[in-house]
């Protein structure tokens, strides 16, 4: 067992200690505590428990039309399909078509076939995290057209960047194209500032590496590496904050195909950063993710811990030996 996987397993055991018999998590009532949990437990090897959480989540939050009940989730309308994508991915991995298919059908109602991106909000915004995650869910559920559209959308996003040394614009608007909006992190990663949304570089690379593997087309692997390499222009904290986790995931999946030492080194840098942030009980708190100070709020802690358990497990799965 690698040290990296050990950190993920400690986090998984923290989650398991909160698991109730019916698949719910103690003290958690809203969707934001559940949508990453099935992936976290599945990829960390706790298969039966992952299915219990998935079943509870579907019973409690999945609507007949494939939408989810996001009541009480502050960011739900801004990243409208993000939870659907995590759950659809988990259900596809488990062979649960009864759950994956309605979720993906809903995702496809938010797919812009013309651009290849997925709508993130009611204003028609398309952004990297939402589109990449939905593309991955569609790819794993067998919807090749939407997955290919996602790859093309990410290619266009990269080609239209005005200056990667300044940062990464991760939103496009209808009739506008790439937009920096109000200049905040909601629209653009400012390479000169710390604690930016570095995950945008990683989640795009993760999808593109997976799509390259599934399609057999090497060009998408090169695009994945281009996104990862662009992160090097960012502030010196780029690989050691909570927002860095998905860079490690993307680098691990890219390394599995490329075998390049640069990709493996990136996985190690991020994994070291996540290990340093882990709390003594195995969880991760939400400082620097949702709040400026550490929070004892169980939902925020469950959300962050679930993500990092999933990501560390995925990194270890690729045998990067870090």
Please report the pLDDT score of residue 5 as a whole number: 67
* Cα–Cα distance list, 228 to 208, 263, 289, 314 (Å): 11, 8, 21, 17
Please report the pLDDT score of residue 238 as a whole number: 96
Q: What is the pLDDT of residues 30-75, one digit of tens each?
A: 999 999 999 999 999 999 999 999 999 999 999 999 999 999 999 9
Radius of gyration from C-alpha coordinates of the chain: 18
Question: In the structure, how many helices (H) and strands (E) does the chain have?
Answer: 12, 5
- Is there a domain that residue 322 lies in? no
Round to whole Å and give the CA distance between 242 and 196. Answer: 10
Q: Which band of pLDDT confidence, cut at 50, 70 and 90, is reported for residue 174? A: confident
Q: What is the pLDDT of residues 213-253, one digit of tens each?
A: 999 999 999 999 999 999 999 999 999 999 999 999 999 99
- Is there a domain that residue 174 lies in? yes
Q: Which band of pLDDT confidence, cut at 50, 70 and 90, is reported for residue 313? A: very high
Q: Which of the 8 DSSP states describes residue 104?
A: H
- Reduced to 3 states, what is the DSSP secondary structure of residue 137? helix
b/e per residue 58-75 (b: at least 16 CB within 10 A): bebbbeeebbbebeebee
Q: What is the pLDDT of residues 287-303, one digit of tens each?
A: 655 555 555 677 889 99
Q: Cα angle vertex 118, ends 115, 124, to 5°?
A: 85
- Is there a domain that residue 274 lies in? yes
On the question of pLDDT at 286 being above 80, the answer is no
Query: Can you name the residues that pair with 169 across neighbouring β-strands?
Result: 188
- Is there a domain that residue 61 lies in? yes
Q: Specify the residue for token string 């400026």.
A: 292
pTM (two decimals): 0.95
| 116 alpha-carbon distance from chain centroid | 19
- Is there a domain that residue 292 lies in? yes
- Domain around 42: 3-317
On the question of pLDDT at 3 being above 70, the answer is no
Structure tokens of 176? Answer: 């506008």
Please report the pLDDT score of residue 287 as a whole number: 67
Q: Which band of pLDDT confidence, cut at 50, 70 and 90, is reported for residue 317? A: confident
Round to whole Å and give the CA distance between 155 and 168. Answer: 13
Round to whole Å and give the CA distance between 239 and 198. Answer: 8
Query: Can you name the residues that pair with 111 across neighbouring β-strands?
Result: 118
Average pLDDT, the chain: 94
CATH number of the structural domain spanning residue 288: 1.50.10.20
Domain count, the chain: 1
On the question of pLDDT at 1 being above 50, the answer is no
């Amino acid at each position: 067992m690698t040290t990296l996987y050990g950190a993920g397993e400690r986090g998984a055991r923290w989650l398991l200690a909160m698991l109730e018999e019916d698949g719910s998590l103690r003290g958690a009532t809203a969707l934001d505590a559940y949508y990453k949990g099935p992936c976290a437990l599945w990829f960390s090897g706790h298969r039966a428990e992952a299915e219990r959480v998935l079943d509870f989540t579907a019973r409690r939050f999945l609507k007949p039309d494939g939408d989810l009940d996001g009541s009480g989730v502050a960011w739900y309308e801004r990243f409208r399909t993000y939870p659907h994508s995590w759950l659809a991915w988990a259900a596809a991995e488990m062979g649960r078509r009864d759950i994956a298919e309605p979720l993906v059908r809903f995702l496809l109602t938010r797919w812009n076939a013309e651009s290849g991106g997925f709508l993130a909000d009611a204003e028609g915004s398309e952004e990297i995290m939402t589109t990449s995650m939905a593309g991955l869910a569609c790819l794993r559920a067998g919807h090749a057209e939407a997955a290919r559209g996602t790859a093309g959308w990410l290619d266009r996003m990269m080609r239209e960047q005005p200056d990667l040394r300044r940062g990464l614009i991760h939103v496009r608007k209808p009739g506008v194209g790439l937009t920096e909006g109000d200049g905040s992190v909601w629209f653009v990663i400012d390479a000169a500032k710390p604690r930016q949304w570095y995950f945008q570089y990683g989640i795009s690379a993760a999808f593109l590496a997976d799509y390259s593997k599934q399609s057999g087309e090497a060009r998408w692997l090169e695009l994945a590496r281009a996104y990862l390499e662009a992160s090097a222009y960012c502030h010196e904290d780029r690989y050691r904050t909570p927002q860095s986790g998905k860079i490690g995931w993307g680098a691990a999946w890219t390394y599995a195909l490329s075998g390049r030492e640069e990709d493996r080194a990136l996985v190690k840098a991020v994994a070291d950063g996540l290990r340093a942030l882990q709390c003594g009980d195995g969880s991760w708190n939400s400082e620097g993710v949702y709040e400026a100070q550490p929070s004892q709020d169980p939902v925020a802690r469950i959300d962050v811990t679930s993500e990092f358990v999933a990501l560390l497990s995925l990194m270890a799965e690729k045998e990067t030996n870090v």
